[in-house]
Copies of this chain bind each other. A is one copy, B any other.
């Protein structure tokens, strides 16, 4: 082994997670209430330190498993945050990621952690510890641009969904309103959803078509050109 190797101390390596959940037409983020200093009793993003043999993906899954009880998520690396004073305990570099989950598919652990973990709507995020407010801000921005060229809804919606439900997701993430008829055309042109043939029953009005994501899609990228009316 190279003699230069591992002879000086390294900064610690951590991962912080922005966990987006979509539920009842509202986009939320999972926050952790800290029981220890620093930022005791304050809210932060869930996170953890990287062990020697772990990959980044494995750390993310471990954090989700132990703190929230789920794993195997859609995961995207966001950015590395390296300000020397970002953690008052010492030098920690954090490689932030974000994930998308459908809260209805999982029960957020109801045990000892129940009071420590909470969903916050993205427009009601409290002041966060460390530099996590900035991390959250960047994750929101990334998600907004990602949804325009990648079928993000896969992870956030149920197996089947109506066009209106899909539109509500886009309006929520992009924080704009979209013309119903133009949205339909653009999404269908993009080609990543398919008609299932069945319809959603039990509504007051006309039963809308149910769609599903096209999992066999070759080209997983497109260019949506979505804009607000007026």
Q: Is A84 an interface residue (CB 8 A)?
A: yes
Other-chain residue from B12, B55, B89 in contact with A10 (beta carbon distance below 8 A): B12
- Map CB proximity to B onto A66-108 as digits: 1 under 8 Å, 0 otherwise: 0000000000010110111000011101010000000000000
Say yes or no: A89 contacts B50, CB within 8 Å.
no
Minimum CB–CB distance from A207 to chain B (whole Å) comes to 39
Say yes or no: B56 contacts A8, CB within 8 Å.
no
Minimum CB–CB distance from A90 to chain B (whole Å) comes to 6
Say yes or no: A10 contacts B13, CB within 8 Å.
yes
What is the interface of chain A mostly: helix, strand, loop, or mixed? Answer: loop
Q: Is A2 an interface residue (CB 8 A)?
A: yes
Q: Is A9 an interface residue (CB 8 A)?
A: yes
Query: Size band of the A side of the interface?
Result: 20 to 34
30 contacts between A and B (CB under 8 A): A1-B89, A1-B90, A2-B36, A2-B37, A2-B89, A5-B89, A5-B90, A6-B12, A6-B90, A8-B49, A8-B51, A8-B52, A9-B52, A10-B11, A10-B12, A10-B13, A10-B49, A10-B50, A10-B52, A11-B52, A13-B13, A50-B93, A52-B91, A55-B84, A56-B80, A77-B79, A80-B80, A80-B95, A93-B95, A95-B95
